[in-house]
């Protein structure tokens, strides 16, 4: 069942007609479906049914909304966090500290110590330097930080270059050629309980082959480390599974992914961690927007100007990403248009020469697949503030993030006396 679907000619989120949300909450607004989040969580977990000992840690960066995290906590997920702020969100949503994994190349001393205080389940160490710093900090408190070493397998994930993380030239992880040496040094430090390795080669992967290659390299490393006398009990396989943004895109299903993982890891004898983000949240959300006006083009198609902009949904401007754009009450007529926001740069273009539903001033429309890397990447550029977020559950909905208008942001600023 599609939880964002046309019924009686009107697009619904579960049983709630989107015009009702637009009327009551205003636009633009992110709308998430609880049923879709739960279905995706279930399907992902079912895909991994043959992996007995595991933690599924939702990548909080993809959608850090507290209500979304709560849905996933109730589905049995933990959290993959990359900042102190994300860690506090996961804890606030009720995730057990032991079910929290902390990744990222630039964890500060403050964040490391905050995570030690919280007693999180795993630090994914991304450099020799970070490992030493964490060990010193933990030892000084009489703690031993549970950790994995994130390796960089130098595998091309065949995704957008800005979201590829496993090539040698990327900043992430420790190059395989140094991994044995770094592991040996860090495993000997008092403040660390170095118990395994982690890998994550990129996001929006549409092919299993790079993942399988990377996991194969991890398997070889685990065998080498064991041979060198290390005890390896944990491996973190990261996230990255892609989702369809447009017709014709066919990412591997969670079942196919799970079957590959089960086959590759069957003899490893370790606890496995997974860090899915987009595959859980991406198609569980839309950005609902209203057409401000339609402007005639110069020598091209008309401009459909919507009240959402690149500050609300950055992916098209940042990565040239495609998001399906549909009318909430399609008339049946079609149009070829440039879909743009109000921001003062040409980059504020959601789609160029796009065939879409014919729309006029005041009509509602959605950008699909906006539940991951949508609201979380918003900025207040052009003093536009932050849009509200709504969670739909059957025939009811709740505002799960208030709109923060430009005035509230301005209230946090001041002109110093010596300048007044």
Ligand X SMILES: Cc1ncc(COP(=O)(O)O)c(C=O)c1O
Ligand Y SMILES: N[C@@H](CCCC[NH3+])C(=O)O
Residues recognised as catalytic: 344
**Beta carbons within 10 angstroms of residue 297's beta carbon:** 12
Binding region for ligand X (CB under 6 A) out of 188-196, 275-283, 304-312, 318-326 = 275-283
Contact between 265 and ligand X by CB under 6 A: the answer reads no
Total binding residues toward ligand X, as defined by CB under 6 A: 16
Encoded one letter per residue, x for contact with ligand X by CB under 6 A and - for no contact, window 90-129 reads -------------x--------------------------
Are the CB atoms for 101 and 236 separated by under 8 Å?
yes
Determine, following the binding rule CB under 6 A, whether residue 203 of this chain makes contact with ligand Y.
Answer: yes
According to CB under 6 A, which one of 204, 213, 311, 349 is a site residue for ligand Y?
204
Q: How many CB atoms lie within 10 A of CB 149?
A: 31
Of the candidate residues 276, 285, 374, 385, the single one contacting ligand X (CB under 6 A): 276
152 binds ligand Y (CB under 6 A): no
373 marked ligand binding residue:
yes
User: Do the annotations mark residue 202 as ligand-binding?
Assistant: no
Q: Select 163 or 208, whichever has its Cβ closest to ligand Y.
A: 163
Question: Which H/E stretch holds residue 32?
Answer: strand 29-33
SS3 content of the chain, % helix, strand, coil (to 5): 35, 25, 40
Question: At closest approach, how far in Å is the CB of 267 from ligand Y?
Answer: 29
The answer to the question of whether 240 is labelled as a binding residue is yes
Which of 80/357 has CB closer to ligand X? 80
103 binds, among ligand Y, ligand X, none (CB under 5 to 8 A by kind): ligand X
Helices (H) and strands (E) counted in the chain, each on its own, are: 12, 21
From residue 70, how far is each of 320, 324, 405 by CA, in Å? 31, 28, 25
Q: Which of 84, 239, 251, 258 binds ligand X (CB under 6 A)?
A: 239
62 binds ligand X (CB under 6 A): yes
Contact between 80 and ligand X by CB under 6 A: the answer reads yes
- Count Cβ atoms below 10 Å from residue 111 Cβ, excluding itself: 19
Residues in 374-403 at the binding interface with ligand Y, rule: CB under 6 A: 377
229 burial type by CB count under 10 A (0-12 exposed, 13-18 middle, 19+ buried):
exposed
315 binds, options ligand X, ligand Y, none, Cβ within 5 to 8 A by partner type: ligand Y
Q: What is the dihedral of CA 330, 331, 337, 340, to 10 degrees?
A: -40
Question: Which distant-in-sequence residues (6+ apart) come within 8 Å of 70 by Cβ?
Answer: 93, 94
**356: nearest Cα among 365, 346, 348:** 365
Q: Could you give the 3-state DSSP secondary structure of residue 119?
A: coil
27 touches 363 (CB < 8 A): no
Binding test (CB under 6 A) with ligand Y, winner from 40, 217, 315, 368: 315
Q: Which of 91, 118, 163, 292 binds ligand Y (CB under 6 A)?
A: 163
Give which of ligand Y, ligand X, none residue 56 binds (C-beta under 5 to 8 Å, depending on kind): none
Binding to ligand X (CB under 6 A) within 188-217 occurs at 200, 203
Considering the complex, what minimum distance in angstroms separates the CB of residue 386 from ligand Y? 17
Both structure tokens of 38: 């739960």
Output the CA torsion 379→380→382→383 (10° steps): 180
Strand order in the sheet with 16-17: 4-7, 10-13, 16-17
On the question of a cis peptide bond just before residue 28, with omega within 30 degrees of 0, the verdict is: yes
Place of tokens 């403040």: 191
Q: Quick one: which segment of 12-20, 220-228, 235-243, 264-272 binds ligand X (CB under 6 A)?
A: 235-243
Return residues touching ligand X (CB under 6 A).
59, 62, 80, 103, 165, 200, 203, 238-241, 275-279
Q: Residue ranges for the binding site for pyridoxal 5'-phosphate?
A: 240, 275-278, 373
Q: Residue ranges for the binding site for substrate?
A: 278, 315, 319, 345, 373
Return residues touching ligand Y (CB under 6 A).
61, 163, 203-204, 315, 373, 377
């Amino acid at each position: 069942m599609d939880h964002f679907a046309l019924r009686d000619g009107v697009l619904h989120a579960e049983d709630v007609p989107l015009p009702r949300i637009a009327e009551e909450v205003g636009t633009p607004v992110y709308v998430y479906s609880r049923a879709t989040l739960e279905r995706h969580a279930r399907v992902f977990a079912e895909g991994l049914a043959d992996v007995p000992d595991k933690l599924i840690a939702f990548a909080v960066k993809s959608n850090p909304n507290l209500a979304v995290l709560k849905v996933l906590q109730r589905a049995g997920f933990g959290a993959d966090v990359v900042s102190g702020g994300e860690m506090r969100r996961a804890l606030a949503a009720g995730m057990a500290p032991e079910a929290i994994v902390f990744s990222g190349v630039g964890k500060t001393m403050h964040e490391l110590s905050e995570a030690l205080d919280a007693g999180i389940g795993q630090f994914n160490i991304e450099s020799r330097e970070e490992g030493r710093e964490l060990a010193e900090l933990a030892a000084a408190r009489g703690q031993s930080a549970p950790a994995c070493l994130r390796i960089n397998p130098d595998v091309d994930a065949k995704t957008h270059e800005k979201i590829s993380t496993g090539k040698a030239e990327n900043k992430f992880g420790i190059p395989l050629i140094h991994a044995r040496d770094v592991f040996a040094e860090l495993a000997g430090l008092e403040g660390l309980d170095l118990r395994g390795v982690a890998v994550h080669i990129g996001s929006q992967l549409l092919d299993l082959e790079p993942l399988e290659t990377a996991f194969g390299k991890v398997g070889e490393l685990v065998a080498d480390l064991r041979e060198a006398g290390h005890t390896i009990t944990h491996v973190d396989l990261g996230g990255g599974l892609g989702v369809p943004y447009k017709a014709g895109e066919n990412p591997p299903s969670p079942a196919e992914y799970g079957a590959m993982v089960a086959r590759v890891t069957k003899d490893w004898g370790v606890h496995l961690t997974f860090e899915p983000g987009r595959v859980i949240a991406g198609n569980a959300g839309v950005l609902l927007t209203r057409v401000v006006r339609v402007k005639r083009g110069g020598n091209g198609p008309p401009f459909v100007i919507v009240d959402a902009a690149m500050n609300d949904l950055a992916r098209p401007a940042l990565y040239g990403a495609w998001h399906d754009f549909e009318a909430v009450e399609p008339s049946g007529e079609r149009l070829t248009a440039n879909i743009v926001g109000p921001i003062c740069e040409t980059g504020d273009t959601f789609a160029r020469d796009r065939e879409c539903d014919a729309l006029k001033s005041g009509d509602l429309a959605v950008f699909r697949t906006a539940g991951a890397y949508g609201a979380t990447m918003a900025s207040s550029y052009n003093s536009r503030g932050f849009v509200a977020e709504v969670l739909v559950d059957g025939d009811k909905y709740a505002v799960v993030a208030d709109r923060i208008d430009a005035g509230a942001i301005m209230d946090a600023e001041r002109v110093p006396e010596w300048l007044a």
